[in-house]
Amino acid sequence: MTPRLHPFTGLTLAVCAAVVTTAAASWPLSVAVAVAAVVLAARHGIAGRVLTAGAVILTPLCLSLLVLHGLFFPEGQTVLAQWGPARVTAEGLGFALELGTRTTACVLVLLLFSFTVSVPDLVSALAGRRIPPQFGFVLASTLTLLPAVAGRLDRIRQAQESRGMVVGRGLLSRLGTLRLQMVPLVLALIDDAGSRAQALDARGFGGPGPRTSYRQVADPAAQRLTRAAALVFAAAAVAGRIVASWPAGVAS
């Protein structure tokens, strides 16, 4: 039987994938990482939840990137269309594509981790490594909130549609309805976070003093080696990016 993935292994792989994708700054690599995250989510049976939560996060962000860099990119030279001060340039669209795919890949891999990790195992692993309980408190609260995003958004949409909200076919109509759904979603998540924080604090989760864990999480040597290799690879990617962007005159 294949040993279960240690929470630190999943976290390390997700963070290193995001770091390497950011350092590479290559949209084909970003697309490949995003597709890999979706495939892994499908294998775990959570592709729909990951994609829904990703759409909630990424849709307004990618639209803002498209407007900001696609229409107002000062370094753009190849003008495809122009309306007054707004210019659609090939360079601006390329930059928006690169930044958007990179952000999408990072968000999807982190969502994949948050939907697949066992929060009790993560808390026990943090306690076993003597990591300050405040850090585990914040991380556990965040991870327990993320899986509820998709279901809560669907309930908000159904409630607004029952009150007469109509989603039109145009882009402006969809953006308007998206804004109407995002505001109550964010407010509800903030309220949920406060309630969970109070409940965990009342149970002594953030209290000082020695802590005893009754849950043991196996950490095979192969997974420890995998984490070390992933960290080395991510550090090499960052170092390579820094060297590649170093001015030639300074390097000489």
Using one digit for the tens of pLDDT, what is the confidence trace for 66-76? Answer: 777 777 767 76
DSSP for 17-55? HHHHHHHH--HHHHHHHHHHHHHHHHHTT-HHHHHHHHH
Note the pLDDT of residue 144: 58
Q: Are 47 and 36 in contact (CB under 8 A)?
A: no
Between 83 and 61, whose confidence is greater? 61
Residue 83 has pLDDT above 90, yes or no: no
Enter the pTM of the model.
0.69
Structure tokens at 37: 């995250």
Cα–Cα distances (Å) from 135 to 35, 65, 123, 198, 209, in that order, read 31, 32, 10, 15, 15
Note the pLDDT of residue 247: 62
